[in-house]
Structure 1
């Protein structure tokens, strides 16, 4: 201890010095905040997610113009979008451990700021190499909201309110790139040109950082308890008072195992994780396929300009909104049934909306492909198909995501990491071939191919709805965690 003093005696009753919450109504507890404050925080963090996903696709309409200005081929310019999405796959390796060690606030602020900085660097780049490299790192930092925001919403809301909040978050994940396509198209067609497709999300990103610094307080329970313990120590002068989270030591091997090695093992050994993640990867990748395909189709068939040709994606966004309403209604009905004792708490209940979406989704794709290939059909008809496509898209994606978390609740962090890495890695390839596929196969046959793939994946939802519990009982990873549901 210094000055030849011995170490003090160990405190016998250490638990009495550990700080905890006084229930959910504790003023330190995020769930104890006023509903208006929670809604304000939720709106800001969902806006951060919207900025990151908007940034992922806004450059897509500008790729050809940027490639021409920088003297490279169109395929090279398309890499700027693909590598941004690919950056999402590497995010969990940083932001997952960051949430455990630093809480929610700092990783979200750092990620949003880094995304804005690298997006700005892409905007002022003098060569295509700088654009592509900066876009990749913008994606790595931009994945922070995708990893952190669901945790913030879980910290703020109870089981009854969490479903609607997560549904709105999921809406921002898909609405961002779909809205970006039209806005980016109008920017490219104007005197602003391609660099402003990057200046705009950079400005939005810096504004998001400003809002986070101003309004976001820490919501991670362990980190909040550390602050509460420090406050009590200052008031009482008793320096033995501490939070349990303060004793957590950085274990690099444990973090590596949790966020890299175990997720890769789950993709190989867990059929539920692998097949559901493949289904979600197809759905997520198709979003970026539509971002490129819709403008091409409506330009090629109906002679629209880039901005106007992407406006039919509004129908897809409308379908997403309808899906949010349907999912929230279904969750509320499920909660009522469960509270009455007539329902079941099995995670497979989450897959009911997926079955509806799995049927509606390919119908929308077939409808679009066989009405948009000829100008003799009015443009409103293929546009209307987007409502079914958007409805099915979110009805598949969000319940599947919730199902994975509930089915592997003790391994939720690893499960989410596995899912994000696979879906972002696969989705990153879609911008490279989507337009070429529609151009070479023809609009009707390219759309039919995607619709047939969607039909081929329907058995995934049906199979796990019926037999998911059996697969979970056979899981060695779940057995090892002693947490079979």
Structure 2
């Protein structure tokens, strides 16, 4: 066991500088991976031209398969992090991610590119899947809000940055290969810095490494049995824990909508009209700037959650203590921000739906901004809630959420163009808004029944 509550080896007791150095490095990995997911979507036309593709679906495969890889990776990486520690999984994964992106840049055909993108998605999933658990390793429950909001900015803002960067890279280089070279260079630099500065945060692994683990704790069981249990834990949680299932479904919905929105931007703000849909005709790589609508909303959401979530948690804990006499924090204290976020998200979609192509371009971007703010609030709350609920096994719970999220997002990426071609901006976006409205009761039900379900 630990040598008291103030044991300096425990990540809870690290200095603020050490904790935030880890947060920054983890957030970098969690940002690079989503950037890589959308940066190539901007180059879909260049890919189609280089590989002589004529249909609408095949150029989208590298993006769709990459997002699918982001969902498959946590099934392996999260359990490994609970056995071998977080640090080694981060370092190996981001190094492999770098090599695979070099391979993507050199791909001779669409088949090679698609396979390498799937594999790079698996390796790149380490940041989005393990990051929230690593935050939980370092910060006590009442301190996690700010750190989680900073970390969550990456997975949400990353796709936006990918779109902005991709537009200018394609326009200046007249091809798609440099999109992958940029990711490879950035991830390679991250590997070098992480080797020297990234610290291990997983408490059971730290105890095991220092030979202070009590008999019967993690690390005593044979490695083969331990791994077989760990590798199936995310799926078991997804199908046996109602809390994990509900949160995974809602997170999948809003994250899938974000990617679908990014596809819509290519249609609404692209230089030419496609599928008979209206376009604002932004030229010279400026299409990617339209991603800043959701991006600015994400910044607003991050600021709100960073400043107010810990205060809300403390206020809720004080109220709980007055009402019940218990000062033990409960995960349900995280839910007020999620309740707010579930209302904000469909409002943004509705504004976008009925302004796209009908008004000045600033109005649909305002709708995207509202959506982005609500999404980040919900994203942070869901991740923090799962960490609070599942504690030591939080990486597996988050992996279950990421798997669900990325499978649905992958499907959205592939069918997005067809959805808007058939339904238009208005009813295509309204369909998504109706799905979000249907999910509004979930956090209220968890607030009431969560303790019983846990």
Instruction: Indicate whether the TM-score tops 0.5.
Output: yes
The Cα of 1:227 is off from its aligned counterpart by: 5.1
In structure 2, distance between residues paired with 1:242 and 1:402: 27
1:438 corresponds to 2:416? no
Q: TM-score, normalised by structure 1?
A: 0.83
Contact 1:24 1:31 in 2 (8 A): no
Contact 2:141 2:388 in 1 (8 A): no
Number of the residue aligned with 2:78: 96
Gaps of 5+ in 1: 1-19, 230-240, 473-483
- CA distance 1:192–1:25, shift in 2 (3 Å): farther
1:189 corresponds to 2:168? no
1:248 corresponds to 2:220? yes
Number of the residue aligned with 1:425: 407
Aligned ranges 1:151-162 → 2 under 5 Å: 151-162=133-144
The Cα of 1:242 is off from its aligned counterpart by: 8.1
Number of the residue aligned with 1:112: 94
In structure 2, distance between residues paired with 1:393 and 1:322: 11
Number of the residue aligned with 1:166: 148
Contact 2:168 2:286 in 1 (8 A): yes
Aligned ranges 1:310-349 → 2 under 5 Å: 310-328=288-306, 329-339=308-318, 341-342=321-322, 345-349=329-333
1:272 corresponds to 2:251? no
Contact 1:82 1:432 in 2 (8 A): yes
In structure 2, distance between residues paired with 1:272 and 1:29: 29
Number of the residue aligned with 2:276: none
Q: CA deviation digits over 1:267-321, x for unaligned, max 9?
A: 4444333233211111111121122111211224211137322312212122222
The Cα of 1:409 is off from its aligned counterpart by: 4.5
Q: CA deviation digits over 1:2-26, x for unaligned, max 9?
A: xxxxxxxxxxxxxxxxxx5434544
Number of the residue aligned with 1:67: 48
Greater Rg over alpha carbons, structure:
1
Contact 2:143 2:310 in 1 (8 A): no
In structure 1, distance between residues paired with 2:218 and 2:382: 35
Contact 1:64 1:74 in 2 (8 A): no
Q: CA deviation digits over 1:133-163, x for unaligned, max 9?
A: 0001101110112233233322333333322
In structure 1, distance between residues paired with 2:405 and 2:66: 13
In structure 1, distance between residues paired with 2:342 and 2:84: 39
Q: CA deviation digits over 1:104-157, x for unaligned, max 9?
A: 211100010111111110110101111000001101110112233233322333
Aligned ranges 1:449-464 → 2 under 5 Å: 449-464=431-446
Number of the residue aligned with 1:236: none
The Cα of 1:217 is off from its aligned counterpart by: 2.6
Gaps of 5+ in 2: 274-278
Number of the residue aligned with 2:280: 302
Contact 1:154 1:162 in 2 (8 A): yes
In structure 1, distance between residues paired with 2:403 and 2:248: 9
Q: TM-score, normalised by structure 2?
A: 0.89
Aligned ranges 1:134-283 → 2 under 5 Å: 134-225=116-207, 228=210, 248-260=220-232, 262-283=233-254
1:37 corresponds to 2:18? yes
In structure 1, distance between residues paired with 2:330 and 2:385: 10
Is the partner of 1:83 in helix, strand or coil? helix
The Cα of 1:429 is off from its aligned counterpart by: 1.0
**Aligned residue pairs, count:** 439
The Cα of 1:184 is off from its aligned counterpart by: 0.7
In structure 2, distance between residues paired with 1:465 and 1:93: 28
- CA distance 1:410–1:96, shift in 2 (3 Å): closer
In structure 2, distance between residues paired with 1:188 and 1:25: 53
- CA distance 1:273–1:214, shift in 2 (3 Å): closer
In structure 2, distance between residues paired with 1:26 and 1:253: 31
- CA distance 1:135–1:356, shift in 2 (3 Å): same
The Cα of 1:31 is off from its aligned counterpart by: 3.5
Task: Select 2:260's aligned residue among 289, 292, 301.
Answer: 289
Contact 2:30 2:128 in 1 (8 A): yes
In structure 2, distance between residues paired with 1:336 and 1:224: 33
Number of the residue aligned with 1:58: 39
Number of the residue aligned with 1:355: 339
